[in-house]
Structure 1
């Protein structure tokens, strides 16, 4: 068969033009949404007005006024998300360096009296041990995901729960919570929904069980976010603030404190969801897709087990959790299991957000703004604890739970340090309560990334999250307020 050049050339030319047109379109960057720009400008204007009024009518010192402006601006930007969350965190650090440390010795900036802190104090959060701990956790989680260890382990464990919907839901929730204790709950949810989708295809359309299984995964991931210091950013921020205040909660102590609440909530959420979304046919059989683990996967499992054991036994071998976190980083990067692209794809924005939260707390402490805020809080211990827990859940329902913890933790810990009378909640109780409460916001699809992932699949509506999430969150809040101090006192000396 002869190829006629005259016939092919016009088609080739047209295809080349089309490709060049697509290339030009790809080079056109999407415009910044005008609503975000408007919200950002409005936040700046409101903040400037506030700072100006404080300078005119307040007796606060200059550094406290500047820090108030930084705190309020951070709150406005985190609530509106007119800037990405991590961008606001960077802005916090930059403003603290310029306005408070004043490295350029500019007139009208810095502390009154001329004794401004060194700018390195505001950069210290970049190397905080909690950041190293989370970095190691991200490395470990990325290796698990890359080698498919998560899905293989999950499908293997799920077999032990049989094929009946009642026990399958329990198995899904326990496995999801277990992985969320060591991995990002967002990644865990994405992985588990991928794993459960072949099982959903075995369920008829319109069967409530489909909704129940989809809801079970994000709810279990949120609850599992309580389990360890690396399970969620609020936990890490709480640990860092406590360390700065002179209180050390080791890895095992956190697990022992959170485990009872986590286990109870998992069982309660399981029974609640199953009763809300009962299957049409309870005898329906659901079977997971089997998956295998290769040699690289077993290497990841061995490194993971060693790391977890070292984290849980840090009070015996003397290595801090941050030092142990370097072990998986070395084990996976030195062997080539994780390359440059893998490291580049880590959740650096989460680390930056945690840094910003720590820097916010440092600034409030250095300027005395935390004491100013505390002076406006009622002095009754039970009221303060309840208010902090409820405020954290409400804030986290509508904004990032890390941002909510960043705003409330320094205030809560400062209150506890200044009110040491009998009956008042201590720093550890308030910090742990706020951090755990940040994982309880699950009443809306936008409350957490796991909720959003499940909602995006199209089977769920907002009401499905609301009626279950409010009950679980409300019960958990009551348990934290009523029993938190008893559990903390049992496992720690604080």
Structure 2
């Protein structure tokens, strides 16, 4: 029987034999990456030394010292990625509960004055309205992707731009930016890269236009991430921090503030990229592939249009954007259009990362660390705005833009709320400027996931990103610093 079983099911028998030994089971487990483990241990050791030094040589309150340790540890782990970004976010919340809230009343922990905040204050970010808003955006985007609405709409719109390369590039960038306003710029880039491949087949291998069409997609996706509060996590984190500080920015106000800059940068990037990657054949004519939308797709479009309209008109109908975000969640899950597996596949790690950023800001405010950090900033308020925006761009070039925003937003908002921070602009201006700058880091293939996706196709060089990314980023930073305050005060009361 044993021989017959092996002959008839050789693969199953081999697998059964392998799994019958515990030592083999141990080999199946992935090993712990030694480099990441070393980085993690190094970060923890450095952080402990910092906290110990502050206790010995500073006059800070106990809670501020503990919070500085949490902040520095989060910065080190986010920069080195010794832990996954979302894992660091969970660690932040756990450390704040243990070291600051001290629910176990352990000696030496909690606030120095004896009063410690309730641990629920550090768990509150899990149910923050911004998290619900982003969840609704993920649901909406997943339905669009599942039913192929994105590709069908993009193909239809692209055909309307004709077949001339200059207008094909413009169409690709506008479509990419539009979808990035409502869904993940990573998913948008992956979708548009797929859509552009039939077009690339019509272009000779060495033609510069191939690079131009591939490069315009991640750049448009990054720029489109400025357009709405749900377009990128830094935007959501900025809105949340402003709400905690008593400032309310509606969905429509954000769109009115960010869209003009977004459109200007798109047009500038289009002209810059096309002039640097012109086709060799001036008579080249490109033809996009046609796609159709079925009944389920039209249902998704209907729900999407209604949701966007409700988001844009929240000041008139009275429903918050977070409440409106539940509408597509109900419309798609109750009808079975999105199954349990679809919901399970949402970008939960992004939501956790945003939660960690919000919790970091809460801890800095409660402990007073944000006010301590403000004392290290330049006394000239005008310099702070420029420094914070440039620091955001620099950080976001090398680490996650969400992580960069999580670290800098609490400091920037706190400074703007001080009397000496008036010259730097309102807290709203600093928060929005930092969030928008986080979307502009495009100078390296590793700067953003859209860049990485485009680079992985093998047609682009790192230098292709650097030249265009630095020029577009520098122009955007100058516009944000010079005109941001005027635009924000025009559309809001801040």
Class of the TM-score when normalised by the shorter of the 2 chains = over 0.9
Q: Map of 1:215-254 to 2, 5 A cutoff?
A: 215-254=215-254
* CA RMSD of superposed structures (Å): 1.7
Q: In the alignment, which residue of structure 2 is the partner of 1:283? A: 283
Query: Cα offset for 1:167?
Result: 0.4
CA displacement, residues 255-291 of structure 1 (integer Å, 9 cap, x when unaligned): 0000110000000000111111111112211111111
Checking the alignment, whether the CA contact within 8 Å between 2:176 and 2:189 is kept in structure 1 is yes
Q: In the alignment, which residue of structure 1 is the partner of 2:160? A: 160
Q: In the alignment, which residue of structure 2 is the partner of 1:206? A: 206
Looking at structure 2, the residues matched to 11 and 415 of structure 1 have their Cα atoms a distance apart, in angstroms, of 74
Checking the alignment, whether the CA contact within 8 Å between 1:198 and 1:289 is kept in structure 2 is yes
Deviates more, 1:274-283 or 1:319-328: 274-283
Q: Does 1:69 align with 2:84?
A: no
Q: Does 1:429 align with 2:419?
A: no
CA displacement, residues 413-466 of structure 1 (integer Å, 9 cap, x when unaligned): 000001366533110000000000000000000000000000000111100100
Q: In the alignment, which residue of structure 1 is the partner of 2:190? A: 190
Looking at structure 2, the residues matched to 9 and 44 of structure 1 have their Cα atoms a distance apart, in angstroms, of 53
- How many residues align structurally? 488
Looking at structure 1, the residues matched to 421 and 404 of structure 2 have their Cα atoms a distance apart, in angstroms, of 27
Seen in structure 2, the aligned counterparts of structure 1 residues 267 and 66 have a Cα distance that, compared at 3 Å, is same
**What are the ranges of 5 or more consecutive residues in structure 2 without an aligned counterpart?**
none
Deviates more, 1:201-210 or 1:439-448: 201-210
Q: In the alignment, which residue of structure 1 is the partner of 2:148? A: 148
Query: Cα offset for 1:136?
Result: 0.2
Looking at structure 2, the residues matched to 404 and 9 of structure 1 have their Cα atoms a distance apart, in angstroms, of 58
Q: In the alignment, which residue of structure 1 is the partner of 2:364? A: 364
Checking the alignment, whether the CA contact within 8 Å between 2:442 and 2:469 is kept in structure 1 is yes
CA displacement, residues 205-252 of structure 1 (integer Å, 9 cap, x when unaligned): 111111110000000000000000000000000000000111000000
Deviates more, 1:10-19 or 1:224-233: 10-19
Q: In the alignment, which residue of structure 2 is the partner of 1:377? A: 377
Looking at structure 1, the residues matched to 286 and 193 of structure 2 have their Cα atoms a distance apart, in angstroms, of 15
Q: In the alignment, which residue of structure 2 is the partner of 1:476? A: 476
Looking at structure 2, the residues matched to 194 and 294 of structure 1 have their Cα atoms a distance apart, in angstroms, of 20
Checking the alignment, whether the CA contact within 8 Å between 2:130 and 2:236 is kept in structure 1 is yes
Q: Map of 1:8-407 to 2, 5 A cutoff?
A: 12=8, 14-17=10-13, 28-407=28-407
Query: Cα offset for 1:114?
Result: 1.1
Query: Cα offset for 1:29?
Result: 2.3
Looking at structure 2, the residues matched to 252 and 22 of structure 1 have their Cα atoms a distance apart, in angstroms, of 59
Seen in structure 2, the aligned counterparts of structure 1 residues 13 and 348 have a Cα distance that, compared at 3 Å, is closer
Looking at structure 2, the residues matched to 118 and 43 of structure 1 have their Cα atoms a distance apart, in angstroms, of 28
Checking the alignment, whether the CA contact within 8 Å between 2:383 and 2:424 is kept in structure 1 is no
Checking the alignment, whether the CA contact within 8 Å between 1:101 and 1:116 is kept in structure 2 is yes
TM-score normalised by L of structure 1: 0.96
Looking at structure 1, the residues matched to 202 and 27 of structure 2 have their Cα atoms a distance apart, in angstroms, of 44
Looking at structure 1, the residues matched to 17 and 165 of structure 2 have their Cα atoms a distance apart, in angstroms, of 52
SS of residue paired to 1:446: coil
Seen in structure 2, the aligned counterparts of structure 1 residues 80 and 304 have a Cα distance that, compared at 3 Å, is same
Query: Cα offset for 1:14?
Result: 4.6
Looking at structure 2, the residues matched to 51 and 127 of structure 1 have their Cα atoms a distance apart, in angstroms, of 31
CA displacement, residues 325-364 of structure 1 (integer Å, 9 cap, x when unaligned): 0000000011111111000000000000000000000000
Checking the alignment, whether the CA contact within 8 Å between 1:252 and 1:312 is kept in structure 2 is yes
Looking at structure 2, the residues matched to 206 and 143 of structure 1 have their Cα atoms a distance apart, in angstroms, of 37
Seen in structure 2, the aligned counterparts of structure 1 residues 277 and 110 have a Cα distance that, compared at 3 Å, is same
Looking at structure 2, the residues matched to 423 and 47 of structure 1 have their Cα atoms a distance apart, in angstroms, of 34
Looking at structure 1, the residues matched to 5 and 333 of structure 2 have their Cα atoms a distance apart, in angstroms, of 49
Looking at structure 1, the residues matched to 290 and 327 of structure 2 have their Cα atoms a distance apart, in angstroms, of 31
Seen in structure 2, the aligned counterparts of structure 1 residues 285 and 68 have a Cα distance that, compared at 3 Å, is same
**What are the ranges of 5 or more consecutive residues in structure 1 without an aligned counterpart?**
1-7
Looking at structure 2, the residues matched to 78 and 256 of structure 1 have their Cα atoms a distance apart, in angstroms, of 32
Looking at structure 1, the residues matched to 25 and 189 of structure 2 have their Cα atoms a distance apart, in angstroms, of 34
Looking at structure 2, the residues matched to 306 and 326 of structure 1 have their Cα atoms a distance apart, in angstroms, of 12
Q: In the alignment, which residue of structure 1 is the partner of 2:491? A: 491
CA displacement, residues 457-482 of structure 1 (integer Å, 9 cap, x when unaligned): 01111001001100000000000000
Seen in structure 2, the aligned counterparts of structure 1 residues 18 and 456 have a Cα distance that, compared at 3 Å, is farther
Checking the alignment, whether the CA contact within 8 Å between 1:164 and 1:282 is kept in structure 2 is no
Looking at structure 1, the residues matched to 165 and 452 of structure 2 have their Cα atoms a distance apart, in angstroms, of 24
SS of residue paired to 2:417: helix
Looking at structure 1, the residues matched to 193 and 436 of structure 2 have their Cα atoms a distance apart, in angstroms, of 24
Q: Write out the 4+ residue segments of structure 1 that deviate beyond 2 Å after TM superposition.
A: 8-27, 419-424
SS of residue paired to 1:390: helix
Looking at structure 2, the residues matched to 152 and 350 of structure 1 have their Cα atoms a distance apart, in angstroms, of 27
Looking at structure 2, the residues matched to 22 and 347 of structure 1 have their Cα atoms a distance apart, in angstroms, of 35
Checking the alignment, whether the CA contact within 8 Å between 1:388 and 1:434 is kept in structure 2 is yes
